[in-house]
Amino acid sequence: MKENHQSVPIILIVDNSRALTGALHAILHTCQALSSEYSFKFVLPAGSQARATLAHRGYATYEIPFIEISRRPKDLLLYVPMLLLNGWRLAALVRRERAAAVHMNDFYNLTGVIARLLTGRPLITHVRFLPHTQLQPLARTWRWVAEHLAQRVVCVSEAVYSYFRPLPQVQVVFDPIPEGEKYPPTDLAPRPDGTVRLLFLGNYIMGKGQNFAVEAFKAAYAQQPNLRLHFAGGDMGLEKNRAYRRQLEATVAAAGLTQVVTFGSFVQDVEAAIKQADIVLNFSESESFSLTCLDALYFGTPLIATDCGGPAELFESGRSGLLVPNRDVPAMTQALLRLAADAELRREFAAAGREFVRHKFRAAATYEQLGKLYSEVLKK
């Protein structure tokens, strides 16, 4: 495990992820960049698949049996008592580790608020999804709690920030670009076999947009049979996500496209996957930021994304990628046809995207800003 020095403040990162998600990846990048100034320890849900990855990277991890609000009667009955119990558990962990602050990497996990009230330690709340898309009585409650009880509210995009009141403690800190590249830039020259390979990188979750990609591909393939589409992502160990993947596969099979549309599992080497593609797709219905889009732009593979929140802030549509209306399959189809047919346009988008994100999401706008935020909170 990473060695802790008495002079280095300890920050407890609480993340509700049951698998390795974009949100967890983003905060992990930040922890690595700030490891000389702070010591980070993680608190995850019981049984999280992400624990092994964090342990492999040397981070101490703890588990708490978090319960989220859902429509299931059992969860509704247990939510309040478990919130109080888990808040007490987190407070005990804060005291035992002598943590200087608690950083909640989830807007809706209120255990940090309980720990804040019990210990008096500073609380930082990171908002990594669009509150506009949630059930509003709940979202407004989470917003009020964050604005009144957290020392800082960190929004990952301007789209998220627009939901909050313009308060001094509420600010935008973009997620960071990857640190360097392992492989040469994407080779966007036409392939010898004439195919154009599309990559949809995202976990199999309803709302992520794989269903729209299938429909758009079906229409585009009828006009350009050189197209190939590959889906890559995990199911996070949830049956509803496995069922969603099976539904997608059944739709592809019914359309007779199993030879040109393939399905893969979670990708460990994101850079390699992106650089093997000619175009990256993200047709999500709601994204607060989208690390997938940022990675595609950074690694230099042309991007087509939906106007669903954060992605619109990551690139300039028509110059470094194509932004299409949310849930608009005909627009997705036309974007696919346009970009797949024009290799020179793909090269132009790739170069412009690499340049844009390297400027907008440089260290001063990400790691340094969050490091400054920690320093300000701990001085109070």
Which of 241, 175, 170 has the alpha carbon at shortest distance from 206? Answer: 241
pLDDT given for residue 316 in this prediction: 93
Residues in the chain with pLDDT < 50? 1, 3-5
The predicted structure's pLDDT at residue 3 = 46
β-pairing verdict for 39-45 and 10-14 = parallel
Angle CA(359)–CA(15)–CA(326) in degrees, nearest 5?
Answer: 55
10-176+362-379 and 196-360 agree in CATH topology: yes
The tokens of 277 are what? 């593609």
pLDDT of res. 306 = 97
> What pLDDT score does 304 carry?
98
Domain residue extents for the chain: 10-176+362-379, 196-360
pTM reported for the whole predicted model = 0.85
Task: Identify the pLDDT of residue 368.
Answer: 87
Architecture in CATH of 196-360: 3-Layer(aba) Sandwich (3.40)
pLDDT of residue 76: 75
The predicted pLDDT at position 6 comes to 54
Contact 100, 9 (CB under 8 A): yes
229: phi then psi, degrees, rounded to nearest 5: -130, 130
Residue 103 bridge partners (DSSP): 13, 124
Instruction: Give the CATH superfamily of 10-176+362-379.
Output: Glycogen Phosphorylase B; (3.40.50.2000)
